[in-house]
Each structure stands twice: as C-alpha cells, then as structure tokens.
Amino acid sequence: MSKQVDFLPAITGSFAQPASENPTVAMIEAAYRHHGLHFRYVNCEVAPEELKAAVAGAKAMGWKGFNCSIPHKVAVVQHLDGLGESAQLIGAVNTIVNRNGLWIGENTDGKGFVQALKEVVDPAGKKVTLFGAGGAARAVAVELALAGAANITIVNRNESRGKEVVDLLNDNIGATAVYQCWTDKYSIEPDTEIVINATSIGLFPHTGDRLNINFETVLPRMVVADGIHNPPKTHLLQTAAAKGCRTVDGLQMLVNQGVIGVKYWTGVDVDPAVMHQALKKVLNIKEND
C-alpha cells in the first residue's frame, strides 16, 4: 500500500503594505524546512481597507496565525478576540495566534529585543537610556519595564510622544521612567548601563545618518543595542564596539521575534542560527557588514 501523503500544510503568514521588502518569510520558511514542520508562511500585501476581510479570510481557511506589520499593527486589534499582556500595554500587535478558534494578539517586537539583550546583559535592575518613542521603542520600553529595568530614560525629539511612553511605564507597570527632550546633541548619563537606539536613524538606505549624541559619552562598560537590522553594524554599534562596549544588533532582535512567533504557532523551539543564516543570505549581509 502506498504511504499516505498529507498535502495540507498549516498556514501562517504576514499582512502588510508594502510587503515585498519584508524578509521575515525567508527566515521563517527556513526554520520550517530545517525542523521538518509541515507549515508554510505566506507574505501578503494587504491594503488597510481590506484588513478586516483578510483577517476573516485567514480564520475561514484555518490559518494558525499571522504577523501584522506597517500599517496594520494598531488597526488589527479591533478584529481580534483578545490580547496578550504586553500587547495590551503597548496598544499594538505584530503576531496573531489562533488559540482554540480565537484570534489572540501578541507583540513580539519588544520580546525579541529583550531576549537578544538578555544574551548579553539582564536588564533587571539596570539603568537604561532609550532613544525613540515610536512603535518599536514603545514595545521595547514596555518589555524592559516588565523585565524589571530599574530606571528608563526616554530620549525623543517629539515631546508628546516621548512623555506618552514615560506615562505608560510609570502609571501601568510601576517602572521609574523619565523623559529627556532631544533638540540638541544629547549626552548620555555616565551611570547608564544599557543604551538602545529604537529610532529609525541609520536604516538602509540612509546608512550614513547618525544619532545626534556626544559619542564621547558612550563608555566601554555600557551595553549598546540597536533595533536597526539593515545594516546590522550601524554607525552607533561600530562606534560602541570600537570603544570596547558589548553590542546587540537589530538582526538578533528580528531573529528572536521569529523564534517567538514560530513557537506561538507550532509549539516548537526553532534554531535561531538557521533563521539568522537565512536572513543574512537574503539581505546579502557578509560576515563583516
């Protein structure tokens, strides 16, 4: 008798616009193949006015879950059945999981980052300076506070956005957060232990752009992290590494997000090195980039 073949993979994917530049599909499918998981990940271009239908369609087809990226991270919440703790606090979702027929929204932006950071330093009890107050910074700030960071200084150009993140941390998580405006060259306080860039400064193709900071205030004992994944060795990280700082790059953050997402959908802990390699290949990143 011939062997029974299962032609029906479990489906996961991503809804975004634009979608074609998102490399997540390459790293997730590499992990599925490596671990022999009968899953596929479909990268979908979804316009804002089609989001509701796309979410309903995914449910109708029995998808296991999906990622949401720009511009759907906040808008998708109204189409879901519930939110995880940090997604609720952040007010945005990037990973949706089908749990017993219900769509539950999670946010792995900050979780992936904190996991990457923990491989170098545990943020618990640490003093952190965080540049940015956009979606990524908000997610990172919430996860840092949940991980027990003692003191978080949010440095942002736009004051109201910066203060909003500070209020969120102080009022809802019981963290100690302060806002610093960013109109002039910023000097990092010398007792800072972790420095993080969660702005979009330095993202390809604007790789020559630099943070408006006094780089002499970056000290060797600080751990310096950057959310920019392309290029992974940003100007900030190169400067910090040259001073002897330990660094964490945005590629590690992206890989860890993928690892967490796949765990949600499949229950399997996949090998981050497989995803890392797949990403470097599709982004054409060489060892020294």
Hey, which residues are catalytic here? 73
Could you tell me which stretch among 30-38, 122-130, 173-181, 199-207 binds ligand NDP (CB under 6 A)? 199-207
In this structure, what token pair is assigned to residue 244?
Answer: 């002897």
Name the minimum Å distance from CB 60 to ligand NDP. 29
User: Is residue 234 within 8 Å of 226, Cβ to Cβ?
Assistant: yes
Out of 65, 105, 231, 250, name the contact with ligand NDP by CB under 6 A.
250
CA distance 34 to 29: 8
Q: Minimal CB distance to ligand NDP: which residue? A: 134
* Site size with ligand NDP, rule: CB under 6 A: 24
Burial class (CB in 10 A: 0-12, 13-18, 19+), 105: buried
The residue range among 151-159, 170-178, 183-191, 231-239 that interacts with ligand NDP, by the rule CB under 6 A, is: 151-159
Nearer to ligand NDP, 174 or 208 (CB): 208
Q: Does 246 bind ligand NDP (CB under 6 A)?
A: no
Asked whether position 65 contacts ligand NDP by CB under 6 A, the answer is no
Among 16, 30, 96, 137, indicate the residue that binds ligand NDP (CB under 6 A): 137
Q: What is the spatial order of strands in the sheet that 194-197 belongs to?
A: 176-181, 151-156, 127-131, 194-197, 223-226, 246-248
> Could you give the angle at the alpha carbon of 131 between the alpha carbons of 128 and 132, nearest 5°?
130
Angle at 60 between CA 54 and CA 64, to 5 degrees: 85
Q: Which of 278, 213, 281 is nearest to 35 (CA)?
A: 278
Q: Which residues pair with 12 in a beta bridge?
A: 41, 65
Which member of 34, 59, 161, 246 binds ligand NDP (CB under 6 A)? Answer: 161
**Residue 178 vs 203, nearer CB to ligand NDP:** 203
Residue 156 contacts ligand NDP per CB under 6 A = yes
Q: How far is the CB of 4 from ligand NDP (least distance, A)?
A: 39
Q: With contacts defined by CB under 6 A, name the span among 16-24, 53-61, 150-158, 187-195 that binds ligand NDP.
A: 150-158
Residue from 154, 201, 218, 259 in contact with ligand NDP (CB under 6 A): 201
199 counts as binding ligand NDP under rule CB under 6 A: yes
Nearest to 77 by CA among 55, 105, 44, 46: 105
What string marks each residue from 254 to 273 as x (binds ligand NDP by CB under 6 A) or -? x--x----------------
Residue 110 binds to ligand NDP (criterion: CB under 6 A):
no
Contact region with ligand NDP (CB under 6 A), list: 25-33, 96-104, 163-171, 225-233: 225-233
Residue 133 as a binder of ligand NDP (CB under 6 A): the answer is yes
Sheet containing strand 82-83, strands side by side: 39-45, 10-16, 65-68, 95-99, 102-106, 82-83
Q: Report helix, strand or coil for 149.
A: coil
Measured distance CA(88)–CA(84) in Å, rounded: 6
Instruction: Answer whether 178's CB lies under 8 Å from 155's CB.
Output: no
Residues forming the site for ligand NDP (CB under 6 A) = 109, 112, 132-137, 156-158, 161, 198-201, 203, 227-229, 250, 253-254, 257
